[in-house]
Amino acid sequence: MPGTVTVFNCYNEPITSLSVSGNGVGDIPPASPGGDGKPLKYTPSGKAIPRSKHAEQGKFAIGDNAVQIPWNSFTGTTTITIPNPTTAPVSLDDNLILYVTTNKAILVLERGFVLQTFDVKTAVNLEAEEAEEAQEQAPA
């Protein structure tokens, strides 16, 4: 049975409707702010996304996967390449970990071996910016 890619949000804003290859796969809460009864400060929140051999909706497939990461104040985009088991030391059944930050995504085997890092490109979320401008211009 194919493994999963657990995506961890390392930023202090929620990811709303993470997209993998054009398909929404859900939300991921922000990293923990810490405090009583909460995980240690900066602990990332995560969501397990299924893997597949070939492209399927809502799954990470072997090869290139376009990922869109919409945080509240901006959106990040990257292409995550899941290694082919015929050319890399990773099986389709292996569970992978993907740490998402505002400038990099780090793909890791569950055994702690970093497979690859990817640049995350960000753009200011225009809707958030426009809403802020409208609020500033509203009469008091």
Note every long-range contact of 76-79, with CB atoms under 8 Å and residues 24 or more positions apart, other chains counting. Answer: 76/100, 76/102, 76/120, 76/121, 76/122, 77/120, 77/121, 77/122, 77/123, 78/105, 78/118, 78/119, 78/120, 78/121, 79/118
- Structural domains in the chain (count): 1
pLDDT at 79: 98
DSSP character for 127? Answer: H
Cα 121 from Cα 46, distance rounded (Å): 20
Paired tokens of 21 = 């290859």
Query: What is the domain range of residue 57?
Result: 4-137
Count of beta carbons in the 10 Å neighbourhood of residue 91: 12
Instruction: Report helix, strand and coil shares of the chain as percent, to nearest 5.
Output: 10, 45, 45
What is the residue-level pLDDT of the chain in tens, covering all 140 positions?
A: 899 999 999 999 999 999 999 999 999 999 999 999 999 999 999 999 999 999 988 999 999 999 999 999 999 999 999 999 999 889 999 999 999 999 999 999 999 999 999 999 997 655 556 667 777 887 76
The alpha carbon of residue 51 and the mean position of all alpha carbons in its chain are separated, in whole angstroms, by 14
